[in-house]
Amino acid sequence: MAGSKKYVVYTGGKREDVDPATVVSSLASMLAGIVGSDDEATASMGFTYKKAFTGFSAWLTEDQAETLSATPGVVKVFPNRMLQLQTTHSWDFVGTPNVTVPSKNESKTLPAAADVIVGVLDTGVWPESKSFSDAGMSEVPARWKGTCDNKGVTNASVIINCNKKLIGARNYLTDGEFKNARDDAGHGTHTTSTIGGALVPQVSEFGLGAGTARGGFPGARVAMYRVCSEAGCASDAILAAFDDAIDDGVDILSLSLGGLPLAYDEDPIAIGSFHAIERKILVSCAGGNSGPAASSVSNGAPWILTVAASTIDRHFSVDIKLGNDKTLQGTALNFENITSASLILGKDASLSSANSTQASLCLVTVLDPAKVKGKIIVCEFDPLVIPTIILLKSLNNWGAAGVILGNDVIADIVRYFPLPGAFIKKAALKDLLAYTSSSNSTAATIFPTKTVLDVEPAPTVAGFSSRGPHIENLDILKPDITAPGVNILAAWSAAVPVFLEDLDATKPVFSDFNIISGTSMACPHATGAAAYVKSIHPDWSPAAIKSALMTTAKSVDNEKKPLKDFDGSDATPFAFGAGQISPLDAANPGLVYDTSVEEYLLHLCASGYNATQIAVISGRTVRCPESPGAPKLNYPSVTIPELKNQTSVVRTVTNVGAPKSVYRAIGSPPLGIELIVSPGTLAFNATGQKIAYTLTFVPLQNLSKKWAFGELIWTSDSISVRSPLAVKG
């Protein structure tokens, strides 16, 4: 197949009355017509989609792809893309064997109710992990059609035996160590156990404390769809997993993966998710690790729950005591003895020929090993310029006494340091530099890592967490919500080291549990919370569950102050959405903003998508209204990207609480705006009753081009239903 590339050929939604086998044979003959023969079609065919929607992936030349896109029945042909796992870079993977300290917000026990099945698209799963013990679980519900697929596995010790907790495991890849959905990367085991892991009592190690590991909703059943390897996640495999998972009978899907923000008709996750919500399956996705740049958020389609990452109230802290008795706090896994040595700045540890920027960043190529030896080197670090592992390895080889790396964006993330050292925030680096410039002989002492609980403020938004607005829908606030995604401890694959003691892969350290960071870790927390809500309200739509999570989210931290960003500034809703998930409150949200599939389609029309593009996304033939008007969607947040004149927005709330309940509006308008809520009181007479209200934004002055934020809260005696507001002139 010289000159050919893999493409995804999408042929639309699937009619219920058409048999999957009929779909397969008609797609095969369509491909044969293009490539010349049945044999060649068989050779070039990748996946076929036949259950929830239709299409296939295939190796094609550019000409063949073009011919196919003009073939009747073909909605769109797009190149197969590689998406990425949303952990911080794999070289920043860190871990500590057997260590688990539950933070307060991780340790709440959520009671189980109805059966909930969560499908996870990821790197596979380690089935023997104690987190997937099915002790005490009831029989798998009869509606479940998924399987534990071990096709092609010859080695008996690799076979995955599903149980009543891990009820499915399918594999879509040919690469990797195993031929099934056994996890050879660790990521999938981590996310899956975060969602629905059973309780696992732990012991302490390295003096970092002890506790019990558990998933967000231990009552959930989980099914793995292996679509990612270390190389990434191919979009044709992702679509195949959606096609199977929707048909298998999952209730919720969790995707800790993504790529650049894309138009929805180019985005396999947006397309697969649309078919999922058509079947009332909520899809929860990582918002991405491309922060703090604006408009970096991905997986932002309105029908997706888009999750940002924030810290928890537990830190792995390294104390750095300066010669002037001031102590700075850093973050690292640092198991070395207390180390005292003199400090040297990158610029003073470099070759005389070095460029000063490169020198202060500690670029290894300009450092002078002789100057570094025996010293604690201080760098204004940028992991995009030089990977952490390369710098640490070099410093270790050169006999540096220690290392202090200043960078706001990554300073929350704990990683293994093979020599005494830590990441510190820029504010701490400033103190450190002030000390070195005020004294001719400077020294510091670096202490080993200790666990610090009840850290304040927490949560704070992680620097790496991608920010809104989403490029494709400025009128929808994204991300939707934030959840713990920094230094999260969960189960790990026995095939993958948690860290390399010597950073040279000759001394790998293994553990059943590992601590990693990313929106990849935040997404499964939100998924677990959604599973909990679904277990209590099995008949709720994905939009209702999402609304419940959003309107009950907390926009204040544990000091009761507005959520802070990674650098100590006030964070905005484009960093945290509606706020930090509050699962117990989400089970009783009082009111929900529900949305139908048809409303999403109309919203696409109003957002400028034409019928062809909408057919790609939804598989449906949609006739957009002649003048669809401004985009409007019954969303739990309100965003107006260009507020020139007085503008009204209508929202409809459904009473899911007590039949007779009364809510009053409390608005805090964005700066420069008068907010009118009409009616100001909503009196419900029945559960399930819907009432519409109008929110009018009156600009009191010419608004600046900067976003301004506010909130609207509907309150009853015991419940607050909170919506963030975002407007720009």
Ligand X SMILES: *[C@@H]1O[C@H](CO)[C@@H](O)[C@H](O)[C@H]1NC(C)=O
* Residue 98 interacting with ligand X (CB under 6 A): yes
Question: Contact region for ligand X (CB under 6 A) — 30-38, 368-376, 437-445, 645-653?
Answer: 437-445
Q: Taking the complex as a whole, how short is the minimal distance between the CB of residue 22 and ligand X, in angstroms?
A: 29
Minimal CA–CA distance to 530: which of 130, 196, 200, 272? 196
User: Helix %, strand %, coil % for the chain, to 5?
Assistant: 25, 30, 50
Question: Contact region for ligand X (CB under 6 A) — 151-159, 189-197, 465-473, 713-721?
Answer: 151-159
User: Is residue 89 annotated as a catalytic residue, yes or no?
Assistant: no
* Residue 161 interacting with ligand X (CB under 6 A): no
Give me the helices (H) in 45-96, please. Answer: 62-69
Q: How far apart are CA 681 and CA 683, in angstroms?
A: 6
* List 256, 613, 634, 655, residue binding ligand X (CB under 6 A): 613
Q: Is 464 exposed, middle or buried (0-12, 13-18, 19+ CB in 10 A)?
A: buried
Site string for ligand X, 494-513 (x = CB under 6 A): ----------------xx--
C-beta of 566 vs 697, nearer to ligand X: 697
Q: How far apart are CA 699 and CA 684, in angstroms?
A: 31
* Residue 203 interacting with ligand X (CB under 6 A): yes
Decide the pairing of beta strands 402-406 and 421-424: parallel
Contact residues for 583 (Cβ-Cβ < 8 A; gap 6+):
108, 110, 216, 217, 528, 529, 532, 533, 549
Contact residues for 598 (Cβ-Cβ < 8 A; gap 6+):
none
C-beta of 11 vs 358, nearer to ligand X: 358
C-beta of 29 vs 610, nearer to ligand X: 610
* Residue 97 interacting with ligand X (CB under 6 A): yes
List the structure tokens of 687.
Answer: 């559960």
- Which is the catalytic residue, given 89, 187, 275, 603? 187
Question: Contact region for ligand X (CB under 6 A) — 132-140, 237-245, 288-296, 610-618?
Answer: 610-618
Q: Taking the complex as a whole, how short is the minimal distance between the CB of residue 603 and ligand X, in angstroms?
A: 16
User: Is residue 520 annotated as a catalytic residue, yes or no?
Assistant: yes
* List 691, 696, 698, 715, residue binding ligand X (CB under 6 A): 691
Identify whether the C-beta of residue 229 lies closer than 8 Å to the C-beta of residue 175. Answer: yes
C-beta of 204 vs 558, nearer to ligand X: 204
Q: How big is the site for ligand X, counted in residues (CB under 6 A)?
A: 26
Q: Taking the complex as a whole, how short is the minimal distance between the CB of residue 56 and ligand X, in angstroms?
A: 22
* Residue 384 interacting with ligand X (CB under 6 A): no
Which amino acid, one-letter code, is at 258? G
Identify whether the C-beta of residue 477 lies closer than 8 Å to the C-beta of residue 573. Answer: yes
* Residue 701 interacting with ligand X (CB under 6 A): yes
Q: Is 36 left (phi over 0), alpha (psi -120 to 50) or beta?
A: left
C-beta of 40 vs 336, nearer to ligand X: 336
* List 596, 610, 648, 687, residue binding ligand X (CB under 6 A): 610
Question: Contact region for ligand X (CB under 6 A) — 153-161, 232-240, 273-281, 525-533?
Answer: 153-161
- Number of C-beta neighbours around residue 163 at 10 A: 16
Determine if the peptide bond prior to 625 is cis (ω within 30°): no
User: Is residue 38 annotated as a catalytic residue, yes or no?
Assistant: no
- Which is the catalytic residue, given 129, 520, 607, 637? 520
Site string for ligand X, 323-342 (x = CB under 6 A): -------------xx-----
φ, ψ dihedrals at 151, nearest 5°: -50, 130
* List 42, 439, 621, 687, residue binding ligand X (CB under 6 A): 439
Report helix angle 597-606 to 268-278, nearest 10: 140
* List 171, 311, 358, 618, residue binding ligand X (CB under 6 A): 358
Q: How far apart are CA 663 and CA 471, in angstroms?
A: 34
Name the site residues for ligand X (rule: CB under 6 A). Answer: 97-98, 155, 157-158, 203, 205, 336-337, 355-358, 438-440, 510-511, 610, 612-613, 683, 685, 691, 701-702
Catalytically active residues are: 122, 187, 520
